[in-house]
Amino acid sequence: MAAPTPPTAQPVQLASLDDREFRRLSAFIERELGIRMPDTKRVMLESRLQKRLRLHGFGTFREYVDYVFSEQGSRTEMINMIDAVTTNKTDFFREADHFEFLQSRVLPRMAESRPGTTLNFWSAGCSTGEEPYTLAMVLEDSRSRLPRMDYRILATDISTRVLDSAQRAIYDLEKADPIPYEFKKRFLLRSKDRERGEVRIRPELRSKVEFRRVNFMDDTYPVPSGFDTVFCRNVIIYFDRHTQERILGHICAHIRPGGWLFIGHSETLTGMDLPLHSAAPTIYQRE
């Protein structure tokens, strides 16, 4: 039987996501992405995928799902489906106490014990880039007081769409509201067209961040070992408990002894067997 192909895009009347197609999609999402997809998320999944149906001109979810899992769709549409269903909520200076702890407690200790070393940071689940660029601002600011410190940041996500956005580093002006005024002056460029209301991260800061696609459900992660600090915040909340522990175990394997892990304020490691000890709420040090 020939694989279905998308018809020419045209206005369509979309049907609902029925039980069969929801089970096919939710099973794949849970197995391959680790994201829990109970029936309560059916409406969310349907609404996020409707744009993909419209784009391809499919009139039913069955046609779309058949295409996604066909040989051609697996090559061309699967990644777009994954992008559509993954959650990407983030802000500059989100959970700001983490950055205060980093700047006041972690960085001076690292700079004193390892002078002249390039420190390596990982923003694991970076979304559209606000977290790694916040991290870069804080690190760059610390260099004025710790002149022998240098740094590099790896930022990863499963979504190619958000990684593309992060690499552009262009944000609506209101997105920059949480950034301190002095940092705005130092690290942001205002669009010459003031009507657009956009800012861009300065190139010298962008050059410190490398973006890469990583799926936390893979058995190995294509990232180096020996990170000094990993920010994996508000990411594991979307996974079941067993998967959370497995992912964090993989991440810990990439943190050097004595390095740091920051998780989200709504997340907990209680009961997990990990080589970490608590230094502060949601802040851990690698044993």
Q: Which residues are catalytic?
A: 48, 157
Indicate left, alpha or beta for 159 from its phi (over 0: left) and psi (-120 to 50: alpha). Answer: beta
Closest C-alpha among 210, 248, 251 to residue 227: 251
**Cα 269 → chain centroid:** 19
Q: Are 65 and 25 in contact (CB under 8 A)?
A: yes
- Cα 228 from Cα 25, distance rounded (Å): 37
Closest C-alpha among 224, 222, 231 to residue 139: 231
User: Could you identify the residue written with the tokens 């508000």?
Assistant: 234
Query: Buried (b) or exposed (e) across 91-111, using 16+ Cβ within 10 A?
Result: bbbbbeebbebbbeebbeebb
Q: How many residues does the chain have?
A: 287
Give the three-class secondary structure for 189: strand
- Cα 4 from Cα 101, distance rounded (Å): 53
Name 192's Cβ contacts closer than 8 Å, sequence gap at least 6: none
